[in-house]
Amino acid sequence: MTIPRSGKEWRWQESTTGFPCGLGLLLVLLLLPVGVSDAHLQQKSCLAAEGPQLLRQPQYKDFEQKDPNVGFLGLMVQPFLHMIQPKPFPQDLFLEVIGGQFQLNQDFIKRVLVYEVGFLVCLAIAVVYIILLPFVGLILAGCRCCGNCGGKMYQKQTPSTHCNRRAFYWSALVTTLIILAGNVIMFKSNQDLNWSVTRGSVKLKDTLDNVQTYLSAVPLQLDTVVNESYKTVQKVSENLNNIGAQLGVEIQNQFKGTLNPVLLSVNLLDQETVNISVELKTLNSSLTEQQLSLDRLQSNVSAVKNRINATLSKPNCVGCEDFRPELQKITVDATITIPSLNELQSAVDEVLKSDLQSKLKEVDVYFQNIPQRMTNDIEVLVSSSKQVLDEIKTQVSQIASDIPLSTLTTAIQEFLNFAETEIQKVLPIVERAEYIRWSVCVALSCVVLFVVACYLLGLTFGPAGLKPKVDPTKRSCTADCGGTFLMMGAGFSFLFSALLMIAVAISFVPGGNVYTVFCRPWDNGQILKFLDTPGLIPLLDIGVALGVTANVNISDLYRDCQKNQSLWMTLHLYQLVNLEEQLNVTRYTEEIVKKFESTNVTLTTINLLDSEIKNKLSTFSTQVDNFKIDAVTERINNLTSINLNTTADKLDQAADSQSSPDIESELHSEANDLRHIQTDIETNIIPQLENLESTIKSLRSTLGKINATVGEVLSSVGAAQDFLHTNTSVIVKTESRKFLDCQLNYFTVYTQWANRTITQQLGLCGPVVDAVDSVVVIVCKHGVESLNTFWFCLGWCIIFFIPGIIFSIKLAKYYRRMKYSDVYDNNLILNHGH
């Protein structure tokens, strides 16, 4: 998405008092992608926008897994059904029945019979079997009662007797085992069919629940996208209320790099000025105190000097004229002055009167009030931008109404509710019928098992009690019992064969037809193509219901849902909704751009230091340069070098050479006065001078740095002031543009997420295919396959009844006790064998 531009790339207010405040509104408007409810504007940098997570898909109950494999019997049953019914799905017949054109006339019946000709041939064979086998059994029974067909209890003994018995034994055993294998599979397939019916009702309910869950989740997912946009609007509104602080902090961060060094140097200058003022006061105090001491010293020295001069002027003073040059050395200059001290003190006082601390506070207040001033100036624009947000909210919510999924899902849910209600009504009847069917099939399986048991008992007892060399009329009861069991098995085979074949026919017709008419066409896709017939089932005309121009057929839906595609692509919803247009908020951003382009915020540039303060600082620096204290230091050194003791010693020597005791006494007294003055100098004057010298050294050290500090302050303040005058608007523009780019990135992420979510994640229809496949697995893979396996194995058993009857009747005579004896040759070697 692009932001419209007019004139130059951006029309900014270039004056130092202008600030594109409204830009912040656009930026906050685009602040967050949908669903990122915890994201917030970063003050230091623009972090990469993160879209919401994938749509949360509903939790479904476990489906019956689709098993494409069939049992080994299916490899025989299915080819058999393919052989008897090679024709494809009878689409024309079903179209007539479903389309309301059905008429039960000869032509329709003929076409049905032609389609079912394979099943009819099998039924005809079953009818022949049902009629013929009992009839043959009846004839055989009558014939044997007349002593024919092996009915006469006489067995001729030949060399091949035992060989024949072995051959009939193994043939009967193999046939019995084949029948037993089929019988075992009958029991298992009957149990599998019972499981598929009883468990199928539960699975069917779970499947319907899963479909209901899916249909309920699709509108909620669409609402989730819309609701996430509401969260974004709410978050944007909160940021609108805080826009001044958010953008103001960024501007403050840019100002800090320039203003912080200036403020630190000004603060340092203020501290150093205060220190200099304190040191100057200390120096003045020391000078005053020192001057008093020096004045007293000068007065004392002058008094002693006058007395000495008077003594030396007496006429009787011997050699006194020679001492006068020494007397001239007794001088004390008691004046200590510092040039330009007052001017420096005055300059310092002027700087202190400027109150640099209050100026620092003023700048800090200006700096801290930037966010609040911005907030106050954009209050009206915030209010109008919130109205634009409401319009965006309305546009995004329109997506839910433009995609008519709720109407479609509601209609399907109503149909499923109706179907579930009807299933619940029929379910008890089905369960009762299934119990009857299971019982009947168990009984049929038991009949076959009974015949097999008779054969196995005969094959066990017959050989166990047979002694080949014994006369057939004297065979043991065990062998005779074995023969009787074999005859019972043959008799029951004749007796139950018709009943069992009727059961095969009854289960064969529905089981085979369901497979050939439903299961096989479903696997090869013929049913789906049939359901694609326009107008066949109005409920399946999804394209018409949605109003899309594309032909939304069932085959394409099934194929797409197998790939777990979204409803956007599966139902061609892009023909109904221009998603790019719905998610395009350019015209709203254009409106906000116009608003902020016409809005200014007065962010005046503050003067860090006015010209008067700068002049005072310059004067201060000049006075520091003019402040010379070398002469004072020299004067202090001269005072500390005074030594009156030497003069006193010479005065004592002059006194000793006097002849007049009075003059001698006066000179000694005056020498002692000089020594007292020297002592005063050493004990009082010199410590004060040393203290004064220390104060001067400290002041000299402080003053030595002040020029550099003042120069740094004036330089940095000038540079910072130029920076603020020339770069304030640039900073505002740059930070606002960075802020804009960051938020546009957020908005890009949002539009991409919303587009991707609706087109790729909304209503992933894989669960619907899983539900349909689950029903097919229950019906075909478990139900129909088990039913077909049952009748196939039952037919297998009764087909092998025929060789079983033959072999058992033939073998029975080798074990039963005969009534008549045959001529027995003792030289005939008979081997006992089975």
Spatial separation of the C-alpha atoms in residues 152 and 155, rounded to whole Å:
8
Distances (CA, A) of 196 to 64, 289, 637, 788: 11, 121, 124, 13
Return the C-alpha torsion angle 279, 284, 285, 289, nearest 10. 140
Q: Which of 317, 216, 192 is CA-nearest to residue 793?
A: 192
**Could you give the 3-state DSSP secondary structure of residue 562?**
helix
pLDDT band per the 50, 70, 90 thresholds, residue 365: confident
464, 485 Cβ separation under 8 angstroms = no
Question: Where residue 750 falls among pLDDT bands split at 50, 70, 90?
Answer: low
Mean pLDDT, range 401-411, rounded to an integer: 72
Give one word for 278, left, alpha or beta, with left for phi > 0 and alpha for psi -120 to 50: alpha
In angstroms, rounded to a whole number, what is the distance separating the alpha carbons of residues 19 and 599? 8
User: With the CA atoms of 103, 109, 112 and 118 taken in that order, what torsion angle do they form, in degrees rounded to the nearest 10?
Assistant: 170
Higher pLDDT, 24 or 321: 321
User: Which pair of structure tokens corresponds to residue 140?
Assistant: 């055989």
- Which of 29-38, 675-684, 754-763 has the lowest average pLDDT? 29-38
The phi, psi pair for 820, rounded to 5°, reads -120, 140
pTM of structure:
0.63
Q: Collect all residues with Cβ–Cβ distance below 8 Å to 12 and sequence separation of at least 6.
A: 18, 20, 729, 732, 733
Tens-place pLDDT, residues 217-231 = 888 877 777 777 777
Task: Compute the distance between CA of residue 22 and CA of residue 385 in angstroms, rounded to an integer.
Answer: 9
pLDDT reported for residue 393: 72
| pLDDT digits 0-9 by tens, 585-616 | 666 666 666 666 666 655 666 667 777 777 77
**Following CA atoms 532, 538, 541, 547 in sequence, which dihedral angle do they give, to the nearest 10 degrees?**
160
- Cβ neighbours of residue 304 under 8 Å, at least 6 residues apart? 330, 670, 673, 674, 677
Asked if pLDDT for residue 48 goes beyond 60, the answer is no
User: Is the per-residue pLDDT at 793 higher than 70?
Assistant: yes
Average pLDDT value for residue range 781-789: 87
Confidence of residue 336 (pLDDT cuts 50, 70, 90): low
Model confidence at 351, pLDDT cuts 50, 70, 90, reads: confident
Q: Do 448 and 500 form a contact (C-beta atoms < 8 A)?
A: yes
CA distance 41 to 28: 9
Distances 574 to 222, 269, 584, 757 between C-alpha atoms, Å: 15, 72, 15, 14
Given a cut of 60, whether residue 69 has pLDDT beyond it is no
Quote the pLDDT of residue 29. Answer: 29
Which residue type occupies 698?
S
Give mean pLDDT, residues 51-57. Answer: 66
In angstroms, what is the C-alpha Rg of the chain? 62
**At residue 712, does pLDDT exceed 60?**
yes
Average pLDDT taken over every residue of the chain: 74
Residues 48 and 61: their CA atoms lie apart, in Å, by 39
- Report DSSP letters for 324-344, one per residue: HHHHHT---------TTHHHH
Q: Is 181 in contact with 800 (CB distance < 8 Å)?
A: no
pLDDT of the residue at 10? 32
Distance CA 414, CA 417 (A): 5
pLDDT digits (tens, 9 = 90+) for 518-573: 888 888 888 888 877 766 665 555 655 555 555 667 788 888 888 888 888 777 77
Q: In this structure, which long-range contacts are made by residues 630-637, counting pairs with CB atoms below 8 Å and at least 24 apart in sequence?
A: 631/339, 632/336, 632/337, 632/338, 632/696, 633/693, 633/696, 635/333, 635/336, 636/336, 636/689, 636/692, 636/693
The top-scoring range by mean pLDDT among 36-45, 79-88, 140-149, 328-337 is: 79-88
User: Cα 571 from chain centroid?
Assistant: 28
**Percent of the chain surpassing pLDDT 70:** 74
Q: Tell me if residue 154 falls in helix, strand or coil.
A: strand
